Amino acid sequence: MDKIFLSALTVECVVGIWEWERRVKQTVVIDLEMAADIRKAAATDRIEDTIDYKKVAKRILAFVGESQFHLVETLTERIAELVVTEFDVSWVKVRVNKRGAIRFSRDVGVEIERRREDYLPAS
């Protein structure tokens, strides 16, 4: 499987369960891997034949910047759903890091993997 990745997308958003966290934006760092068959794009050298990672990054940054979730878990799930459904990606790995959330720890966060089937309408 080929993968396209984005590392360390940094954005400020409202995320947290404590009252003070709801009043200020905090920095989250997002890492993303997306399944992609890049053979056609490699042969044609055309952006239309691959995942446009600039569009993905801009969409994620806009979405997260406007979001207000209580849990990093919810934020991570919504990012995965957005990438799979809006960019027709068959598999995605999303890691959201809320730096400084725990004293004496540099990084705290959530990492998930999702497939297209995870977001199909229930029959």
Active site residues: 98
Tokens of 32: 């993303």
Give the orientation angle of helix 53-66 with respect to helix 72-87, to 10 degrees.
Answer: 140
- Rounded to whole angstroms, the Cα distance separating 107 from 42 reads 36
